[in-house]
């Protein structure tokens, strides 16, 4: 998937993808923020970003033709993530948000080494939020197969709280449930209860939702786990990290014009709009399909 904006170039000698010019902080304030996900789930992160930074422009790319990432090899996830990054860099973004937990877990370091703009994933902010929320240090993490297998959340939590007890569970069926809109029916309840049974028995006091789809199941998850378990997702923490990074680099957009969101997908824009409205509401008015 390659689409280059006018004035952008890709330097291939060392594999780095760069916009044609970086410019001053003042020049960069008006640039958009790029966000990508394997599909639709990253809209929960975009929602938090928009709420916290309403004057910023965002370009969202959902790789709907190749989802889910969670069952693919690390090599494929890294390749797809690089292609998504290239597209967004060609749009002249000032910062990149990797809103996909799987891509953040597997490809974030590769992306950061290959880009000139700041890159923020969802793993570190989510882990920090979970550590802050947990009283006992017994923390559960649920996510896709690739995210859990990577151990990224476990390592991030242990860096912040070395004595934490971390219990993880891959939950591959939750993403399709959410995308079908089955977030509070008997099938969803039975599936969530099946996945969370062992975590509930382990005595966790905090559950980290390690997939951007899962916040749409948070009410059901909270009901199954009971009042004694705090539910944490990475969206709000990631948005706060983005705002802090923009401020530290003096590239945050000042009050005034802005606040637009543009959506691109690699397949089925109609379905993206329909399902995306469950995440973000009527703001998802249209989506442009990319030719790969």
Q: Which two tokens stand for residue 201?
A: 């028995």
CB 191 within 8 Å of CB 119 = no
* Cβ neighbours, 10 Å, residue 199: 21
State how far the Cα of 127 lies from the Cα of 151, in Å rounded to an integer: 12
Element (H, E) at 271: helix 269-280
SS (H, E, C) 176-218: HHHHCCCCCCHHHHHHHHHHHHHHHHCCCCEEEEECCCHHHHH
- The answer to whether residues 224 and 196 touch, using CB atoms and an 8 Å cutoff, is yes
Active site residue 171: no
Q: Is 100 annotated as catalytic? A: yes
What does each C-alpha distance from 204 to 122, 138, 155, 261 come to in angstroms? 22, 5, 18, 38
Q: Can you say whether the dihedral through the CA atoms of 72, 77, 83, 87 is positive or negative? A: positive
By DSSP bridging, strand 17-18 and strand 33-37 are unpaired
Catalytic residue among 211, 220, 221, 235: 211
Catalytic residue among 49, 59, 97, 100: 100
Catalytic machinery residues: 100, 211
């Amino acid at each position: 998937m390659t689409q280059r904006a006018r004035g952008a170039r890709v330097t291939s000698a060392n594999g780095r993808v760069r916009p044609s010019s970086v410019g001053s902080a003042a020049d960069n304030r008006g640039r958009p923020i790029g966000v990508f996900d394997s599909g639709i789930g990253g809209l929960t992160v975009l929602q938090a970003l928009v709420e916290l930074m309403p004057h910023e422009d965002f370009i969202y790319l959902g790789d709907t033709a190749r989802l889910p990432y969670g069952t693919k090899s690390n090599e494929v996830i890294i390749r797809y993530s690089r292609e998504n990054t290239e597209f967004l860099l060609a749009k002249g973004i000032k910062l990149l948000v990797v809103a996909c937990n799987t891509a953040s877990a597997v490809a974030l370091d590769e992306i950061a080494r290959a880009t000139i703009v700041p890159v923020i994933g969802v793993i570190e902010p989510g882990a920090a939020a979970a550590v802050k929320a947990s009283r006992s240090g017994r923390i559960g993490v649920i996510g896709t197969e690739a995210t859990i297998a990577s151990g990224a959340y476990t390592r991030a939590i242990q860096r912040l709280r070395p004595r934490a007890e971390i219990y993880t569970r891959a939950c591959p069926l939750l993403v399709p449930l959410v995308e079908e809109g089955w977030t509070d029916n008997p099938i969803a309840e039975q599936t969530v209860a099946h996945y969370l049974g062992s975590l509930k028995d382990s005595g966790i006091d905090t559950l980290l939702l390690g997939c951007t789809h899962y916040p749409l199941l948070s009410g059901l998850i909270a009901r199954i786990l009971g009042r004694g378990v705090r539910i944490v997702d990475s969206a709000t923490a990631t948005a706060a990290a983005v705002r802090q990074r923009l401020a530290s680099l003096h590239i945050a957009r000042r009050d005034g014009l802005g606040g637009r969101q543009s959506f691109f997908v690699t397949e089925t824009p109609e379905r993206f709009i329909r399902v995306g409205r469950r995440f973000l509401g009527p703001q998802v008015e249209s989506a442009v399909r990319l030719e790969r």
